[in-house]
């Protein structure tokens, strides 16, 4: 059947850079391990499965440079193997404990398969999950794009040098990781402002994404609505996120993930189980923590955690089928309505954080796979396209300048600038200004190796201080102390290193430790922060 519209899935995978090599069970490193086991492995597996069956997924996947660095970090890979081993050891005990409880046993076996699959995929690729992603892209199954170096909310960086550094470092990082230049750029938090157009162009990006309200209310001729691509005045392609399809998948309140049959995220066996039984699986501090074994379903909106009922994988899978069918039915209607109104076939751009699929919405990967399969199996009049494919085949997009916007709460920058987190900008700007000033001072000098290393590490620390995650964690009040410490550490590290270079007293031992801990962007050259860059 011929296509009545195009569907573009964009999954944005990002985690803040968390690497604590001196600690074997650092709590926040679990963010990474959980996301690998519950999201990245299931998504890679489904992409490979589809590709092997001749069903081209055709999705775009944004891998943040910080996440990419963690996926290639051998120490984290080793810790990941320990994490999976620990979970499988606990699951073995759980299989015994649940043997007379068929409802529980079914879910324990589900987790056994989840973690065994994760261990198998990690083993298959020697712990490096970039390898299968690279292969999928090389085979034309998916398109991989990048985002800002440390996921800074770019409209909140007023120094152009800082924006350029975030983009240029990301482009270089992508090239090193995927052996080709990146085409697409995911704006962290979908945060756009017109000032970014020139930076995107200068860094070689061909397209990016913006929020629908930034286009709909731009006051310009957006006659394609949100279902057509646009271009900026300097020819950067612009795709617009579709609010309807996003809401159906994103919203726990109105969307599919809130279905009573789906797994409950917040009730975790790490808080339910008998303490001594679970003690070996907690960290060195002995404090209870989530263990990823969640045996209950949402049950009902507002149901108390204690009253949640057991999860039933079969019932959940039935809902996945129904939700995938509903999602596609709505997209076809959306396409038909658009065609009836405007006489052209729409492009529906659905963007999600990748970690929604699997980690937060446990059934998300199954939903994604079912959607892709159904289009083929039911010969539905929709086709998946990647951004580059679409730009290469569509008519010249109309020029537009969207307004400033983000996909955060209320649509602008409130989550990252409010009374809970605004104090951090004193520190972020102190490091950024000092970095730019020092880069300008030394950019044309031949520097001794130690000074050069210190300046490059200061650039890493500055970039890390600019990450959007610290402001957001402070805003939601979760891991707030960790976020504050990380921010202050990076700022202090950057300022000290820069001062030490100026005073010619770099402490090599301390520098070695920082290089080991914050070891991303191995080719980073501090001069990228200079006001007139050599790049």
Partner 1 sequence: MPELSRTLPSEDRLVLLPKNPGVLFAFWQFSASREEAFISSALGGEVELRLFHSEDKAQVSALKAAWKSGKAYLEVPAQGRSYTAALYALRSGEWEKLLESNPVSSPAAAGMAEERAYASLEFHKRVHL
Residues of this chain, 347-386, that bind partner 1 according to CB under 8 A: 353, 355-356, 359-360
Q: How far apart are CA 457 and CA 441, in angstroms?
A: 16
Site string for partner 1, 307-346 (x = CB under 8 A): ----------------------------------------
- Asked if 418 interacts with partner 1 (CB under 8 A), we say yes
The binder of partner 1 chosen from 403, 456, 526, 528 (CB under 8 A)? 403
- Residues 8-67 interacting with partner 1 (rule: CB under 8 A): 31, 34
82: part of which helix (H) or strand (E)? helix 74-97
Q: Which stretch binds partner 1 (CB under 8 A): 115-123, 196-204, 419-427, 443-451?
A: 419-427
The smaller minimum CB distance to partner 1, of residues 40 and 472, is found at: 472
Using the rule CB under 8 A, give the single segment among 58-66, 313-321, 391-399, 487-495 that binds partner 1. Answer: 487-495
The window from 365-373, 377-385, 476-484, 521-529 that contacts partner 1 (CB under 8 A) reads: 476-484
CA dist., res. 135 & res. 415, Å (int): 37
Q: CB under 8 A: which stretch of 165-173, 188-196, 294-302, 442-450 binds partner 1?
A: 188-196
Is 424 an interacting residue with respect to partner 1 (CB under 8 A)? yes
Q: How many residues does the chain have?
A: 535
Phi then psi for residue 461, to 5 deg, are -65, -40
- Select the span of 333-341, 387-395, 413-421, 456-464 touching partner 1 (CB under 8 A): 413-421
Rounded Cα–Cα distance for residues 59 and 338 (Å): 22
Residue 13 or residue 372: which is nearer to partner 1 going by CB? 13
Q: CB nearer to partner 1: give 278 or 427.
A: 427
> Binder to partner 1 among 484, 515, 517, 533 (CB under 8 A)?
484
Q: How far is the CB of 52 from partner 1 (least distance, A)?
A: 30
Exactly one of 423, 513, 523, 535 binds partner 1 (CB under 8 A); which one? Answer: 423
By C-beta, is 31 or 125 nearer to partner 1? 31
What string of DSSP letters covers 128-158? -THHHHHHHHHTTSEEEEEE-TT---GGG--
- Between the CA of residue 501 and those of 122, 165, 441, 506, 530, what are the distances in Å? 41, 20, 11, 6, 16
| Spatial CB neighbours of 505, under 8 Å, sequence gap ≥ 6 | none
CA dihedral 265, 268, 272, 277 (to 10 degrees): 170
Decide if residue 502 touches partner 1 (CB under 8 A): no
Alpha-carbon gap, residue 89 to 521, rounded angstroms: 35
Distance in Å, CB of 9 to partner 1, minimum: 15
> Which stretch in 51-59, 126-134, 176-184, 422-430 sits in contact with partner 1 by CB under 8 A?
422-430
Cα dist from 52 to 48, 56, 141, 361, 522, whole Å: 6, 9, 10, 25, 35
Is 35 in contact with 15 (CB distance < 8 Å)? yes
**Choices 106-114, 130-138, 206-214, 453-461; region in contact with partner 1 by CB under 8 A:** 206-214
Using the contact rule CB under 8 A, the part of the chain among 66-74, 161-169, 340-348, 473-481 near partner 1 is 473-481
Rounded CA gap, 284 and 23, in Å? Answer: 9
Determine which residue in the list 123, 476, 512, 522 makes contact with partner 1, applying CB under 8 A. Answer: 476
- Cβ at position 225, least distance to partner 1 in Å: 14
Q: How far is the CB of 172 from partner 1 (least distance, A)?
A: 26
421 touching partner 1, by CB under 8 A: yes
Q: Contact 241/351 with Cβ under 8 angstroms? A: yes
Site residue total, partner 1 (CB under 8 A): 75
Touching partner 1, residues 111-140 (CB under 8 A) = none
Q: Which of 272, 488, 507, 515 binds partner 1 (CB under 8 A)?
A: 488
With CB under 8 A as the contact rule, the residue among 88, 492, 502, 510 that binds partner 1 is 492
Contact 335/382 with Cβ under 8 angstroms? yes
In angstroms, give the least distance from the CB of 306 to partner 1: 16
Residues 248-307 that bind partner 1 (CB under 8 A): 250-252, 254, 265-266, 268, 289-290
Pairing of strands 230-231, 207-210: unpaired
Residues 140-179 interacting with partner 1 (rule: CB under 8 A): 155-156, 158-159
Tokens 């379903």 belong to residue = 297
Among 23, 75, 414, 508, binds partner 1 (CB under 8 A): 414
Helix (H, G, I), strand (E, B) or coil at 235: coil
| Residue selected from 308, 460, 479, 486 as contacting partner 1 according to rule CB under 8 A | 479
Q: Which of 213, 308, 323, 460 binds partner 1 (CB under 8 A)?
A: 213
* Burial category of 237 from C-beta neighbours within 10 Å (exposed 0-12, middle 13-18, buried 19 and up): buried
Q: Which is nearer to partner 1, 141 or 466 (CB)?
A: 466
Within 225-254, the residues that bind partner 1 by CB under 8 A are: 243, 246-247, 250-252, 254
Is the distance from CB of 21 to CB of 75 less than 8 angstroms?
yes
What one-character-per-residue DSSP string does 251-305 give?
A: -TTTSGGG-TTSBPSS--HHHHS-HHHHGGGS-TT------S---BB--STT--G
With CB under 8 A as the contact rule, the residue among 131, 137, 404, 519 that binds partner 1 is 404
CA angle 405, 409, 410 (to 5 degrees): 60
Task: Work out whether 508 is an interface residue with partner 1 (CB under 8 A).
Answer: no
The tokens 């620990």 sit on which residue? 86
* CA 359 to chain CA mean position, Å: 12
CA distance 183 to 286: 46
């Amino acid at each position: 059947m011929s296509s009545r519209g195009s569907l573009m899935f964009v999954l944005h995978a990002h985690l803040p850079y968390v690497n604590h090599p001196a600690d074997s069970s650092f709590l926040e490193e679990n963010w990474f391990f959980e996301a690998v086991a519950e999201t990245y492995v299931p998504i890679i597996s489904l992409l490979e499965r589809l590709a092997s069956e001749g069903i081209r997924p055709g999705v775009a996947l944004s891998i943040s440079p910080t996440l990419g660095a963690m996926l290639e970090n051998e120490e984290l890979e080793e810790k990941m193997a320990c994490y999976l081993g620990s979970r499988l050891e606990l699951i073995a005990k759980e299989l015994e404990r649940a043997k007379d409880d068929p409802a529980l046993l079914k879910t324990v076996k589900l987790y056994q398969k989840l973690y065994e699959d994760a261990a198998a995929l990690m083993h298959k690729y020697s712990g490096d999950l970039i390898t299968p992603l690279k292969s999928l892209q090389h085979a034309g199954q998916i398109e991989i794009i990048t985002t800002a170096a440390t996921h800074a909310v770019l409209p909140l960086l007023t120094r152009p040098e800082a924006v350029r550094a975030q983009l240029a470092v990301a482009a270089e990082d992508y090239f090193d990781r995927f052996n080709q230049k990146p085409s697409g750029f995911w704006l962290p938090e979908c945060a756009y402002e017109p000032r970014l157009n020139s930076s995107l162009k200068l860094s070689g990006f061909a397209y990016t994404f913006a929020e629908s309200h930034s286009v709909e209310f731009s006051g310009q001729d957006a006659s394609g609505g949100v279902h057509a691509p646009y271009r900026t005045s300097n020819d950067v392609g612009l795709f617009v996120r579709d609010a309807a399809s996003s809401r159906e998948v994103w919203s726990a309140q109105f969307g599919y993930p809130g279905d009573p049959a789906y797994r409950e995220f917040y009730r975790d066996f790490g808080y339910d189980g008998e303490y001594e039984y679970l003690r070996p699986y907690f960290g060195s501090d002995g404090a209870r923590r989530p263990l990823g074994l969640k045996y209950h379903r949402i049950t009902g909106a507002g149901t108390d955690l204690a009253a949640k009922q057991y999860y039933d994988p079969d019932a959940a899978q039935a809902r996945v089928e129904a939700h995938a069918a509903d999602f596609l039915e709505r997209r076809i209607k959306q396409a038909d309505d658009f065609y009836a109104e405007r006489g052209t076939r729409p492009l529906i751009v659905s963007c999600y954080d990748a970690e929604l699929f699997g980690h937060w919405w446990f059934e998300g990967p199954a939903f994604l796979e079912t959607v892709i399969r159904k289009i083929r199996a039911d010969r539905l009049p929709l086709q998946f396209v990647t951004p580059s494919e679409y730009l290469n085949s569509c008519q010249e997009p109309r020029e537009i300048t969207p307004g400033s916007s983000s996909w955060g709460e209320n649509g602008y920058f409130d989550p990252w600038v409010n009374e809970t987190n605004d104090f951090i900008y004193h520190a972020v700007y102190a490091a950024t200004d000092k970095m730019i000033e020092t880069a300008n001072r030394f950019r044309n000098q031949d520097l001794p190796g130690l000074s050069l290393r210190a300046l490059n590490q200061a650039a890493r620390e500055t970039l890390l201080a600019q990450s959007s995650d610290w402001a957001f964690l402070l805003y939601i009040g979760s891991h707030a102390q960790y976020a504050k410490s990380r921010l202050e550490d990076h700022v202090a590290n950057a300022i000290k290193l820069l001062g030490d270079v100026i005073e010619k007293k770099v402490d090599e031992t301390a520098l070695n430790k920082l290089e080991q801990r914050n070891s991303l962007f191995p080719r980073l050259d501090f001069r990228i922060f200079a006001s007139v860059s050599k790049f």
